[in-house]
Structure 1
Amino acid sequence: MHTEHQQRNFSFELFPPKTEKGLENLKQNVAELNTKQPAYFSVTYGAGGSTRQRTFDTVEWLMDEQITTAPHLSCIGANRDEILEILEHYKSIGIRRLVALRGDLPSGTGLGELGDLNHANQLVELIQETYPRLFHIEVAAYPEFHPQASSPEQDLIYFKRKIEAGADSAITQYFYNADAYFRFLDNCQKLQIDIPIVPGIMPITNFTQLARFSDACGTEIPRWLRKRLEGFGDDLEAIRSYGTETVIRLCERLLEGGAPGLHFYTMNQAKPTLAIWQALSL
């Protein structure tokens, strides 16, 4: 798994903007990020009607710009026909890479009452059955374990099911502890999981927002980092500068340890990601 010879893959994640102004900003930030020739841009997916349309619009705009695009597709609460329709649409506009996810449970619902597919491995299976090997399929990995997993072992079993269903590679949830990632790789190796697992990288620009985000998705901000960032209070410049330095060191360690690339959660802002990119001389 720690292969030096495979080509490293660098990619950027975007979310569909909600307003015209957001769209203008996105276009400008994509233009800046695209000068780095990433392997692809991924676009997050909102399951609801209007957010879903925004995903399609963003994906189509990127494809019109001749930018390799990997739309996220989540299956929770969707029926099979809906998903097949989306896949058919993506195939027709030239999409050849997808990020297949379970998606978040709508609050107050249990798994049984949701839709035809309740797990990401079922989604991967459906994609491979319908369009064998047409799409390169990315799935999610959780070095610090999925917040809803009953145990780390169970989490790895779910992950392995996605690989067996036909996933080609994985992107991790963001983290700030490189050891968690390397330990996860070791555990995967024991289970004969040998697809590339690319670390997800979240630049640090706003501590309050990051803390809220991390609590929601089960990511740990190590105590030393949390205390340090809290110590800066409202000094956004200091938070940004210390945050950038911390994430640069994390990326260096991951790449030195053989990570097959990096996937940046850009939050639709080019600058924080490019500051890290330049420091790494990628």
Structure 2
Amino acid sequence: MSPLETALGPIARAGAGLAKRPSVSFEFSPPKTPEAEESLWEAIRRLEPLNPSFVSVTYGAGGSTRDRTHRTVVRILNETGLKPAAHLTCVEASREEVDEVVQGYWDAGIRHIVAIRGDPPGKIGGVYVPRADGYANATELTAGIKAIGDFEVSVSVYPQGYPGNTIERDIDVLKAKIDAGATRAISQFFYDIDGYLRFMDKVRAAGITIPISPGIMPVSSFKGLKKMAGPVGITLPDWLGNLFEGLDDDPETRKLISASVAAEMCARLTEEGYSDFQFYTLNRPDLVYAICRVLGIREEPKEIAA
């Protein structure tokens, strides 16, 4: 047992009491350099034995990683036993260009797409102006994907509301995405569990029944987390900041805290009836691997040849 797992003993005991093995999925980012590609594949190989329900590969702002995303997803399909999903956005692209990407995925054997409207480069969380010849939003994008092939389409939900929207407006948008063909949803990361549960009560009360995976972000740098959370309107609770206070030069303790928080969130959500989690890995597998172990997710035993 690693030092990280040992330090998580109390949480591990909670995980051992879970009624059943949770289902997990992992999000990766396409590499920008040869060194980053090597790190990505180390992350994939590290997490592959945990048998996730699927893994997804993100799409840069404005489609900036289109080719890298495509290559990575196809390679996962061809070289691993994982079920890959490709993120796809519609910003700064025509319908024809997006449809070409979708058809390319279908032809390559990819059957799952994560449809997100996306943000233009340099305008994360800012005002979005669609192209006249493009898909206006994730709802139109979902319909366009389904018109090309019978993909599984995952879409995003925002427990704290998308910037500029109310929760009620976001629920109406989610309904429209489902009507367009979305089959499941993944939540933006969060740390307010009670707020997430209230959000989900409203979603289910609105008659929405598709699977929705809570998004879990284990991050060992609170400064980095604030940088990610701010532009998309995610509130970070004071207690979380207090846990990381004074630890700028202590990365090992930050890792322990990050894993503890994420594992405890999953244990609490499981007690509330949730059993399907999406982990935003940031291509750093060790924290996610340890948390999954805590939750009772193990590698399948390898058969020994006679």
Task: Return the TM-score normalized by structure 2.
Answer: 0.84
Deviation, structure 1 residue 280: 1.0
Deviation, structure 1 residue 154: 1.4
Match of 2:59 in 1: 45
Match of 2:136 in 1: 118
Residue 64 (structure 1) aligned to one of 49, 55, 78? 78
CA distance in 2: counterparts of 1:238 and 1:219, whole angstroms: 24
Residue identity opposite 1:85 in structure 2: E
CA distance in 2: counterparts of 1:261 and 1:129, whole angstroms: 28
Match of 2:145 in 1: 127
Task: Judge conservation of contact 2:113–2:154 (CA < 8 Å) in 1.
Answer: yes
Match of 2:164 in 1: 148
CA distance in 1: counterparts of 2:25 and 2:128, whole angstroms: 34
CA distance in 1: counterparts of 2:173 and 2:183, whole angstroms: 15
Say which SS state the counterpart of residue 111 (structure 1) adopts.
Answer: coil
CA distance in 1: counterparts of 2:255 and 2:195, whole angstroms: 24
Deviation, structure 1 residue 155: 1.8
Match of 1:244 in 2: 259
CA change 1:6–1:168 in 2 (3 A) is: farther
Q: Give aligned pairs, total.
A: 276
Residue 259 (structure 1) aligned to one of 254, 261, 274? 274
CA change 1:50–1:123 in 2 (3 A) is: closer
CA distance in 2: counterparts of 1:259 and 1:162, whole angstroms: 22
Deviation, structure 1 residue 171: 0.4
Match of 2:16 in 1: none
Match of 1:196 in 2: 211
Superposed CA deviations along residues 75-124 of structure 1, whole A, max 9, x for unmatched, are 12221111111111101111111100110134386525465212101111
CA change 1:203–1:157 in 2 (3 A) is: same
Match of 1:16 in 2: 30
Superposed CA deviations along residues 12-38 of structure 1, whole A, max 9, x for unmatched, are 000001111111111111111001011
CA distance in 1: counterparts of 2:250 and 2:188, whole angstroms: 27
CA change 1:177–1:109 in 2 (3 A) is: closer
CA distance in 2: counterparts of 1:194 and 1:8, whole angstroms: 19
CA change 1:6–1:253 in 2 (3 A) is: closer
CA distance in 1: counterparts of 2:213 and 2:90, whole angstroms: 22
Say which SS state the counterpart of residue 219 (structure 1) adopts.
Answer: coil
Superposed CA deviations along residues 23-73 of structure 1, whole A, max 9, x for unmatched, are 111111111100101111100012557621111111121111143100000
CA distance in 1: counterparts of 2:185 and 2:20, whole angstroms: 15
Superposed CA deviations along residues 242-263 of structure 1, whole A, max 9, x for unmatched, are 1211111101011221224011
CA change 1:7–1:126 in 2 (3 A) is: farther
Query: Please, what is the CA RMSD of the aligned residues?
Result: 2.2
Residue 45 (structure 2) aligned to one of 27, 31, 51? 31
Task: Judge conservation of contact 2:25–2:55 (CA < 8 Å) in 1.
Answer: yes
Task: Judge conservation of contact 1:14–1:267 (CA < 8 Å) in 2.
Answer: yes
Task: Judge conservation of contact 2:103–2:148 (CA < 8 Å) in 1.
Answer: no
CA change 1:47–1:236 in 2 (3 A) is: closer
Residue identity opposite 2:180 in structure 1: A
Say which SS state the counterpart of residue 100 (structure 2) adopts.
Answer: helix
CA distance in 2: counterparts of 1:92 and 1:7, whole angstroms: 34
Task: Judge conservation of contact 1:203–1:244 (CA < 8 Å) in 2.
Answer: yes
Q: Which one is further off, 227-236 or 8-17?
A: 227-236
Task: Judge conservation of contact 1:172–1:197 (CA < 8 Å) in 2.
Answer: yes
Q: Work out the percentage of aligned pairs sharing the same amino acid.
A: 38
| Structure 2 gap segments, 5+ residues each | 1-18, 298-306
CA change 1:279–1:70 in 2 (3 A) is: same
Say which SS state the counterpart of residue 104 (structure 2) adopts.
Answer: helix
Deviation, structure 1 residue 7: 9.2
Superposed CA deviations along residues 198-252 of structure 1, whole A, max 9, x for unmatched, are 0111012112111111112222211111122124343222222112111111010
Q: Which one is further off, 102-111 or 267-276?
A: 102-111
Task: Judge conservation of contact 1:44–1:55 (CA < 8 Å) in 2.
Answer: yes
